[in-house]
Amino acid sequence: MKNKIAKTIKILAMVQAFLGFIAGIIYGFDTYEVGTYHTRTEYEFVWTLALIYWIGTFLTVIMLLAIAEIINLLQRILDSLNKKA
């Protein structure tokens, strides 16, 4: 029997992965002003900022998936003990 909580945590991990990737792209763009009298704003993609978000997201997703797998394993152990009893 699959555990509903583990399935919910896996879904949350996938949502976190998607949102973290998008956040890395959004926060990776840095703005700066060019010129003294006639200023204009230019955009530049900063890979280090994006990688910080992506690495943090990756670690969070791995932790959530590990917790979901632990819950699944515990559920399987409980199911096997209930069949023996």
Per-residue confidence (pLDDT) for residue 55, from 0 to 100: 98
Instruction: Between 83 and 55, name the one with better pLDDT.
Output: 55
Domains: count for the chain: 1
Res. 35: pLDDT tops 90: no
Res. 14: pLDDT tops 70: yes
Instruction: Between 25 and 1, name the one with better pLDDT.
Output: 25
Residue with tokens 């932790």: 63
13: Cβ contacts below 8 Å, ≥ 6 apart = 60, 61, 64, 65, 68
Domain that holds residue 39: 4-84
Res. 26: pLDDT tops 90: yes
65: Cβ contacts below 8 Å, ≥ 6 apart = 9, 10, 13
Res. 5: pLDDT tops 70: yes
Per-residue confidence (pLDDT) for residue 1, from 0 to 100: 57
Q: Confidence band (pLDDT; 50, 70, 90) for 8?
A: very high
